[in-house]
Each structure stands twice: as structure tokens, then as C-alpha cells.
């Protein structure tokens, strides 16, 4: 039995080999005749190509995802750099605008300084101004070390804006002409009207209209919008003739007994980055 089985196996193997050889030979003959690859080569090529495609799909997907992540990271980095540049650009714009405003203010102060020939002036910079006391006071960067004294007039780019009310070694507090507190020392002023001067004091400030108010005027001289307003020098706390502004409008009280004179300040009281202090003997 074993011999017979072995003989059958040998016969089967021989037949199989012969068939394979025949197929190979026939495939090669057919390939040479038709100029196409042999059958077995095509089969191997097809199998290899299929495997390659199976491997390529996840490989390409991983590569594409890696490229996407890399591009995303590059875009993020570029975005951060652009944001930093934009922030720097905005800061430079603010600095430029501030410098332009200071330059305009200083140019006006040069013209104002030329009119104050009787006084030595000191330039100072505003270093503090609280929102709660915005219309009443500010702090400048000059003090007793620079020769400043209490009572000296302080001017903006076009006229009086206040007086020194407190002096420290290297800074001083300035009380503005728009201060409406009860204990403030009122500013004595004169309106140069067409029919003569009208004296009075600044009694109030209209924050909505940004106008100073000279109240309780009982004198009968005609006062018109545009009339010049200067310090009167009365009371000895301020020299006379320093420009304050001009008349904006004139009204009467509810009883018609006195007038209110609204004054437009020659200096912008809301923007006081640089100021001039006049070193007068009156403020000594």
C-alpha cells in the first residue's frame, strides 16, 4: 500500500511538474508571439501591484495628515508673528499720534511764550490726571527743585488753564480753572467788551458744553460773543492780562436780574499733555 501510494504521489508530482513546465513554456511562447508579459509574470505583477496599493493607501493618508498638521503649525506660527507685528504697528501708531499732538501743543506754546516777555516760563509734562478729578486738577513733573511756588499761573497751548496749588520737590499739583469745588480760590477775570471792561470771577463750569461760566454779572455793559477774556489781576493771586479765552454766549438768570457769561477756553482743558508755568512774583 505504501509503495502504491508512493508511486501515485510520484506520478502526480511528475504530472504537476510537466503541467507547470508546459504552462510556463506555453505562456512564454504566447508572450513572445503577442509581445505581452508571460502569464505568471503578469499574475505576480498584479499581486505585487495590489499589495502596493493596499500599502500605499494608509501610507499616503498618514503622509497627507502629517503634511496637513505641519502646514497647520506653520500657519499658526505665521499667524502669531503677524499678530505681534500688528500689535507693534498699533503701538507705533499710538506713539506717533501722541507725539504729533505734543508737537502741535509745543508749537502753540512757543507762540504763547513769546507774548509772556515779563515772565520766565518753565515747560512741564502732565504725569497724573485722575478720572475722578479730571476737570479740577492734574499733576506735573516739576516742583520746588525747578523753582516753582504755590500760586504761579499754569498755561496750556494758548492761555491760562490753572494755578499751582501744591508744590513738592519734583512735582506739583495744578488746580484747573474748571474746578468747581466749594473751597477753591476762584479765578478773577475781565471781559474786554466794546463798551468797557466787565470784571468778575469764574463761578462754574459746564462739562457738557465744555464752557467756563462767569456768573452773577450785574454790570450793564454790552458783552458780545467773541469778546476776549483775560485775568484781571484783582485779589493779588494772579497777574493781569493773561489770556483765558473768549465769550461764547450770554444768558440771564430766571429773574432777569443778572447775566451768565459762557466762556470758551483758549486751551483744550481735556487734553493737557504739556504745560507752561509762569514764574511770577505774584505766586511767591
| Mean pLDDT in residue range 230-242 | 84
C-alpha cell at 165: 496749588
Biggest CA pair distance of the chain = 153
Q: Is residue 170 part of a domain?
A: no
Please give the grid coordinates belonging to residue 92: 507705533
* CATH number, residue 217: 2.40.10.350
The conformational region for residue 233 under phi > 0 = left, psi -120 to 50 = alpha, else beta, is: left
Beta strands in the chain (DSSP E): 120-128, 137-140, 153-155, 160-167, 172-176, 188-193, 196-206, 211-217, 228-231, 243-252, 259-265, 274-279
Based on the structure, what is the number of domains in the chain? 1
Task: Tell which phi-psi region holds residue 262, choosing left (phi > 0), alpha (psi between -120 and 50) or beta.
Answer: beta
Which of 13-27, 106-120, 247-261 is predicted with the least confidence, judged by mean pLDDT? 106-120
- Any domain includes 96: no
The answer as to whether 234 is a domain residue is yes
Domain assignment of residue 18, yes or no: no
- How confident is the model over 153-212, as pLDDT tens digits? 999 888 899 999 999 999 999 999 999 887 778 899 999 988 889 999 999 999 999 999
- The pLDDT, as a whole number, for residue 277 is 92
Predicted structure pTM score = 0.60
Q: Are 188 and 231 in contact (CB under 8 A)?
A: yes
Q: Over 50: is that where the pLDDT of 283 sits?
A: no
Of these ranges, 45-59, 83-97, 175-189, the one predicted with the greatest mean pLDDT is 175-189
Domain of residue 230: give its range: 188-268
Q: Is 197 within the bounds of a domain?
A: yes
pLDDT for residue 41: 58
251-273 pLDDT, tens digit each: 987 777 788 999 999 999 988 88
Q: Is there a domain that residue 136 lies in?
A: no
The pLDDT of residue 226: 94
Residue 230 counted as domain residue: yes
Residue 148: strand, helix, or coil: coil
Amino acid at each position: 500500500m505504501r509503495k502504491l501510494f508512493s508511486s501515485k504521489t510520484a506520478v502526480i508530482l511528475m504530472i504537476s511538474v510537466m503541467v507547470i513546465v508546459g504552462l510556463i513554456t506555453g505562456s512564454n511562447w504566447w508572450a513572445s508571439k503577442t509581445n505581452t508579459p508571460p502569464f505568471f509574470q503578469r499574475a505576480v505583477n498584479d499581486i505585487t501591484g495590489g499589495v502596493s496599493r493596499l500599502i500605499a493607501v494608509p501610507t499616503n493618508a498618514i503622509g497627507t495628515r502629517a503634511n496637513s498638521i505641519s502646514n497647520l503649525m506653520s500657519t499658526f506660527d505665521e499667524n502669531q508673528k503677524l499678530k505681534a507685528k500688528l500689535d507693534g504697528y498699533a503701538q507705533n501708531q499710538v506713539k506717533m499720534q501722541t507725539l504729533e499732538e505734543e508737537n502741535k501743543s509745543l508749537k502753540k506754546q512757543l507762540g504763547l511764550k513769546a507774548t509772556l516777555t515779563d515772565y520766565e516760563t518753565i515747560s512741564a509734562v502732565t504725569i497724573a490726571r485722575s478720572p475722578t478729578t479730571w476737570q479740577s486738577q492734574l499733576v506735573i513733573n516739576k516742583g520746588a527743585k525747578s523753582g516753582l511756588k504755590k500760586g504761579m499761573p499754569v498755561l496750556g497751548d494758548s492761555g491760562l488753564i490753572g494755578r499751582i496749588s501744591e508744590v513738592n520737590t519734583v512735582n506739583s499739583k495744578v488746580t484747573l480753572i474748571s474746578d468747581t469745588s466749594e473751597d477753591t480760590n476762584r479765578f478773577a477775570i475781565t471781559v474786554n467788551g466794546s463798551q468797557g471792561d466787565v470784571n468778575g470771577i469764574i463761578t462754574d463750569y459746564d462739562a457738557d458744553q465744555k464752557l467756563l461760566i462767569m456768573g452773577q454779572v450785574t454790570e450793564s455793559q454790552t458783552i458780545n460773543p467773541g469778546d476776549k477774556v483775560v485775568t484781571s489781576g484783582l485779589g493779588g493771586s494772579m497777574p493781569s492780562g493773561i489770556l483765558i479765552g473768549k465769550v461764547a454766549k450770554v444768558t440771564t438768570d430766571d429773574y432777569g436780574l443778572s447775566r451768565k457769561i459762557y466762556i470758551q477756553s483758549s486751551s483744550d482743558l481735556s487734553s493737557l499733555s504739556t504745560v507752561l508755568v509762569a514764574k511770577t512774583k505774584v505766586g511767591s
